[in-house]
Structure 1
């Protein structure tokens, strides 16, 4: 089971944190800091798996990560998950973000955090993998985005009607 998904930059600033079990805010910050220190100190030519630890779940716990440009994508999982399967899942997540934002960058994660969470929710929910087909994920994301845009245009139209009605009374 996936315990947490963390994305942070080369300086340790969290850009996405999704925990699938309850931790206090302080515990979450500690987990992000410690995970960054563990992952960022590793050489680029070593494997992307870390086993054991006391952050989440004790010895049953693994960190599986990929480093892309300025971002680390880290999945904290228990021993029932396949390391290679999670590496593939990270690849699917990153490629889906890339398709959805047309060359995703760190700023996309900052300014479109709600959309990033929507994409992640199409892939993983409650710590379980739901979908790995990139085309399906992008299609669902685009449908959601289109729906949000149509709803916001309806709201704008309604606000304009109310404003014009108020102005016509005065």
Structure 2
């Protein structure tokens, strides 16, 4: 089971956090700090798996990560998850973000956090993998985006109607 998904930059600033167990905010911050400390100190030519710290799940916990440009994508999982399967899932997540945002960058994760959370929720929910087909995920994302845009267009039209009614009084 996936216990947490952490995305942080080269300086340890969190850009996306999703915990599938309850932790206080202080515990979450400590988990991010410890995870950044463990992952950032590793060379790029070593494997992307390591035994986790003591904060999530004790000894039954592994960190599986990928480093892309300025971002670390880290999945904290228990021993029932396949390391290679999670690496593939990270790749699916990153490629899906890249398709949906057309060359995703760190700023997309900052300014479009709701859309990134939506994409992540299409892939993983409650610590379990739901979908790995990028085409399906992207089409659902585009449908949701169209729906949001159509709802945003309705509001200004309604506002115009109310303003014209008020001004005509």
The runs of 5 or more residues in structure 2 that have no matched partner are none
2:103 aligned with 1:103 = yes
Per-residue deviation, 1:156: 1.6
Q: Encode CA deviations 1:68-112: one digit per residue, 9 max, x unaligned.
A: 000000000000000000000000000000000000000000000
Size of the alignment, in residue pairs? 169
Q: Which residue of 2 aligns with 1:7?
A: 7
| Structure 2: distance between partners of 1:54 and 1:39 | 14
CA distance in 2, matches of 1:79, 1:129: 15
String of CA shifts for 1:134-153, please: whole Å, max 9, x gaps: 00000000000000000111
TM, length-normalised to structure 1: 0.97
Alpha-carbon distance in structure 2 between the residues aligned to 1:164 and 1:10: 52
Structure-2 residue corresponding to 1:121 = 121
Look up the match of 1:93: 93
What's the counterpart of residue 159 of structure 2? Answer: 159
Structure 1: which 4+ aligned runs deviate by more than 2 Å?
none
TM-score by structure 2 length?
0.98
Instruction: Give the SS at the match of 1:42.
Output: coil
Q: Which runs of 5+ in 1 are unaligned?
A: none
Q: Which residue of 1 aligns with 2:34?
A: 34
